[in-house]
Amino acid sequence: MSPADSGVEPPPERTVAQNAQLALLLEVTGTPKPGNVDRAHDYDDLRFEHFVAGGVGARRGLDLAADGERLGRAFERAVAGMSQQRAGNTQFGALLVLVPLVRAAAEDDLSGRHAGDLAEATTVADAADFYRAFEHVDVAVDDPPEGMDALDVRRGAEAVPAIEDRGVTLYDVMTDSAEIDGIAREWTGEFDRSFDAAERLLELEGAVPDRTARVFLELLAAEPDTFVATQHDRETAERATERAAAALAGDADPWTLANEFVAEGINPGTTADLTAAALFVALERGLEI
């Protein structure tokens, strides 16, 4: 019997889509993330297990993105799969920022420049897919600008004819929203916050969920969360950023801040989404668990 007959095949490395899934699951695991669901905090109708199920269900859309499907379609399928749990919207924004990054990684060019090119190349069909994704979840959004009711994302699939008539691409949608939505800003800004935060994850030491909590706080301390601004208002979002900065500086306790934010319903969801994106890039760049 030769050694080759009893040989053991090397373990498989995680695929790009697996790393994206792992990023979603590590993101919810990071604790404390003031205002977010984490290992120590839930909301009444939005709990840890919903994010776990969301991360499992999103996988088929992530596989589509890695395998070359158009980005809008991959995103819509990821959201559809994510939504197969009772809390509804857990990771809509995280999936939106991840999908171009997943494709860039699958094309062996995980850079802000290439992910930005992929974003810019999205089409009217991608925009139609994006609007269809809203059929699977309730997502907090502001009223559309004057005269734009036909393109209100809350119309979901009903808006598709108007999208097609007007020739609106998904990149157009992102451009229109970049001022008020941090993920749209990533799409139109070469994902710079995601990549910078990924470098922070790689620089820091210690257990990955602890680094995650730290980078979340750094992100929130640097920029007001656009989801908080939508759910509440600009002032609340700016104040939340000030409070995060205080915690980062050691003038407040992140655990106390986490309890306060949950009690006040301040949930920095956009910051969580960016944290997931950062984790994905870091995993692709060799972050070990």
Binding site for a copy of itself (CB under 8 A): 1, 5-14, 18, 21-22, 25-26, 29, 39-40, 47-50, 52-53, 55-57, 59-60, 76-77, 80-81, 83-86, 128, 132, 135-136, 156-158, 160-161, 164, 207-209, 288-289
Q: Which distant-in-sequence residues (6+ apart) come within 8 Å of 220 by Cβ?
A: 34, 240, 241, 244, 268, 271
User: Measured from the CB of residue 138, what is the shortest distance to a copy of itself in angstroms?
Assistant: 15
Q: Which is nearer to a copy of itself, 129 or 181 (CB)?
A: 129
User: Could you tell me the smallest distance in angstroms from the CB atom of residue 44 to a copy of itself?
Assistant: 10
Of residues 153 and 180, the one with the C-beta less far from a copy of itself? 153
Spatial CA neighbour of 131 closest among 172, 101, 186, 102:
172
**Cβ at position 41, least distance to a copy of itself in Å:** 10
We find the least distance from the C-beta atom of residue 190 to a copy of itself, in angstroms, to be: 28
CB atoms < 10 A from the CB of 3, how many? Answer: 6
For a copy of itself, which is the closer residue by CB, 56 or 202? 56
Q: Which is nearer to a copy of itself, 26 or 266 (CB)?
A: 26
CB of 208 to a copy of itself, least distance (A): 6
Cα 137 off chain centre by: 15
Q: What are residue 211's phi and psi, to 5 degrees?
A: -60, -40
Nearest alpha-carbon partner for 54 in 156, 128, 170, 136: 136
58 versus 184: smaller Cβ distance to a copy of itself:
58
Radius of gyration of the chain (CA): 19
Nearest distance from residue 84's CB to a copy of itself, in Å? 6
Coil vs helix vs strand at 38: strand
Q: Which is nearer to a copy of itself, 249 or 289 (CB)?
A: 289
**Of residues 21 and 275, the one with the C-beta less far from a copy of itself:** 21
Nearer to a copy of itself, 139 or 160 (CB): 160
Distance in Å, CB of 85 to a copy of itself, minimum: 4
Note if the bond before 32 is cis, omega within 30 degrees: yes
In the structure encoding, which two tokens stand for residue 210, read together?
Answer: 């602890």
Strand partners, 41: 38
Backbone angles phi, psi at 141, to 5 degrees: -140, 155
Q: What is the DSSP string of 3-44?
A: GGGG--PPPPPPPHHHHHHHHHHHHHHSS--TTS-BTTB--S
Q: What share of the chain is helix, strand, coil (3-state, %, to 5)?
A: 65, 0, 35
Taking the complex as a whole, the smallest distance from the CB of residue 8 to a copy of itself amounts, in Å, to: 5
